[in-house]
Structure 1
């Protein structure tokens, strides 16, 4: 696995704090504790650059990671975390929506969903939201190594049906433990950041 240069450039909550250059960005969205930080670490060949936590709701800002000095991953706060106030959830929602709908650098969105379960209503809403704004979407089913091999095809059919995955979307089963799915995710990213 190739190790990539990765640097946390800034944590932001409003557009005036976003980086001002033209580097292309790929946003990573998903429920709290779906494995966004683990996926970032796995993709970049780093063990613990993006902080992983057993405590949901840890990421509370838009974290802009510069990769190899020529593009960025933007780690978006997890949605669906109940142990924060309604006001805090509303603020996160506005922050996420502003970034996803107004950021010109944004080239596509990786939507992470726990592959051990059928997509939840918030997962479906997020994919519908991304479709509405015509953003390229890669759905990544995480933690699929915890699903028996003979049931993994079922994940694909369930996700495609329930999320109404369009022809322009892609779906990848991913495991940070067994290291599959990485090539497909990199292939999708590389097409968009050229």
Structure 2
């Protein structure tokens, strides 16, 4: 299945079994898609490649059903074997340049997390399809970051690049609109959907905030 590498996606769910807090992650993903999620990333850092791939296959059955791209977090082997739409990496993971050399057909979506402004000057930026601004606000789901960007950080990055910006980090219904107004093209959420008793409603409300 081919996906749009121009990155038109607006609501991005980052999901793991742990983040779903006892609710089946496949159920959460499907309800979130119905509610308005455009793209999903599976992030399972602690699993072996075999188990990661097994979970990814289950999730891909759902994303393919709805024509939603599935992104794999920081595991090129899983992403390629799965036939995922793409891969997302951070500053200390495998580089976009390595990904482009190893995986060029069909062309994958490559996301690259920005943790400091110096990264915007490096050679990885042109090789990335979108930039993850991580975190906008500090969050319990990701503790290994350096910079809390805030809204001013998004404005600053937006002035320095034309790449699509995916904002992540403690984004919820109360601040979603302000993050978009600051210059983000897409909102990535974890707890706002995975931690909700009604993932479909949570996704629907977030999508409406984006579209206002």
Query: Which structure carries more helix by proportion?
Result: 2
Instruction: Tell me if TM exceeds 0.5.
Output: no
TM bucket (normalised to shorter chain) is 0.3 to 0.5
Higher strand share: 1
Give the TM-score normalised by structure 2: 0.38
